[in-house]
Amino acid sequence: MDPLAPAHPTWVMLLIAAVAVVVLLVLIAKVKLHAFVALVLVSVVTAVVAGIPIADVPTALLDGFSSTLGSVALLVAFGVMLGRLLEVTGGAQVLADTLIGAFGEKRAPLALGVAALIFGFPIFFDAGLVVFLPIIFAVARRFGGSILLYALPTAGSFAAMHAVVPPHPGPVAAATELGGDIGLTLLIGVPVAVLAWIPGAYLVGTRLGARFNPHPTNVFALDDPERTDGSEERTAPPSFATVVLLLLLPLVLIGLNTVVTTLRAAGTVSEDATWASALVLIGQTPVALLITVLVAMFVLSPGRFPIGTASDIMDKALGPICAIILITGAGGMFGGVLRTSGIGESLSTSLSDLGMSLIVQAFLIATLLRVAQGSATVALTTTAGLISAQVAAADLGSFDIALLVFAIAAGATVLSHVNDSGFWLVSRFFGMDVITTLKTWTVLETTLGVSVFVIASLLWFIVP
């Protein structure tokens, strides 16, 4: 559903958004209303107050809800199925032990973060995080301490790659809109993402993990004393190579999709090529994860569990994530209402010409759009469109355009809060209430975004 023209002046729209967020926090943190109920209730009221026609309110609500579920539900479901299979067969523990053996016990968060940076190159934030969940839980169970000590640096790795590095959709869309070189953006983006991750996610994440110790829902039934899934008879766990190959499989399939799509856009591969269409299909993230789950069932089952009991194993993983999926969808509903109400249009009108350095302007516009409506991708693409005329007039080279893309990505990363579906995904997976998530994930996303912006700004002003 396209955004409406703002029904109120800009300051009124911003006030409505601010009040909606405050009310939502009060309902969840103080009144203790269930997050799903609170999100839906505030979304409905906000839609009406913001001036969305009454007849269009149901559509606005369902568009945000269904679009978020469409991208999240399948990924989360197949991801936790794969995670459960790796957990009950000992595969997650094997991978955790090997990583810790290579990096050392004290560097366990660093080991997970580096692995996530590598895996995060082609795979989206939510899919990567879900696939890594059993490894995070396995490491936390082995060494103790807060789950956040291991989870935050890992999630920060996926966030950094997703925000900055092509082939992720945000930087690709921004670079294309600004007339930049996607290949150069990728080459510069990888070191920028890694350098920003070190202070912005790893150092901050480990400090926050030492301060906060939530007790997450047992997604993989790790402490179930009575196994009824046949895993009690399992023999040796799978090898390290087997586990790595299973984790690489969706990465390779998604990577093939990206390569073929890029070649099609360049005209190298025909749009009518059947083989290319087949690779694009199996490289869609939900399909790639489905294939990986099926392969994992047959690869891991011999000597470990009867293939017929695989459904029982995966059922145990699906139960705890129902609330996660619904709350994440409701978070998308709230963000969708804010977008449809025209608040983004209000900000665009008032911030398109701020009379300051182009890279600072790009960062501020993306930040305000991110805070207002929640979606990082929307903030990226909208900001790129707003400054594209100025970029064209300035006749910037591909290097400078890449730095602008990073500045926009930085602004689109900071201050993740209750209108961001990713906020709820992290909150529910790691057992955090809203206030704790604001004190941890929101802080980490902000320091990560600021780190990216600082690096981009230094290069902007130093490199001729």
Task: Check residue 192 and report its DSSP letter.
Answer: H
d(CA 21, CA 5): 21
- pLDDT of the chain, 464 residues: tens digit per residue: 555 555 566 677 778 877 887 887 788 777 878 778 888 898 899 888 888 888 888 888 888 788 767 766 777 777 778 777 877 787 767 777 787 788 777 888 898 888 888 777 656 677 778 778 888 887 888 777 889 999 999 999 989 988 888 767 678 778 877 888 776 887 888 899 999 999 999 999 999 999 999 887 655 544 443 444 444 444 678 888 888 888 788 778 877 887 887 788 777 878 788 888 888 888 887 888 889 888 988 888 776 666 667 777 777 767 666 766 777 677 778 777 876 776 655 665 565 555 678 888 889 888 887 887 777 777 777 677 777 777 887 788 888 999 999 999 999 899 888 878 788 888 888 889 889 999 999 999 999 999 999 999 999 988 76
If you compute the radius of gyration of the chain from its CA atoms, what whole number of angstroms results? 22
Token duo for residue 93: 């523990």
Residues 6+ apart with CB under 8 A from 30: none
Residues in the chain: 464
Task: Check residue 228 and report its DSSP letter.
Answer: -
Token duo for residue 123: 């795979």
d(CA 356, CA 250): 43
Residue with tokens 């993402």: 193
Token duo for residue 24: 């939502």
Token duo for residue 440: 């941890």
| Nearest residue to 167 via CA among 191, 193, 185, 194 | 185
d(CA 325, CA 328): 5
Helix, strand, coil percentages for the chain (3-state, nearest 5): 75, 0, 25
Token duo for residue 255: 């990577």
Residues 6+ apart with CB under 8 A from 120: 128, 157, 158, 160, 161, 162
Residue 142's CB: how many other CB atoms inside 10 A? 13
Residue 317: is it exposed, middle or buried by C-beta count within 10 angstroms (0-12/13-18/19+)?
Answer: buried
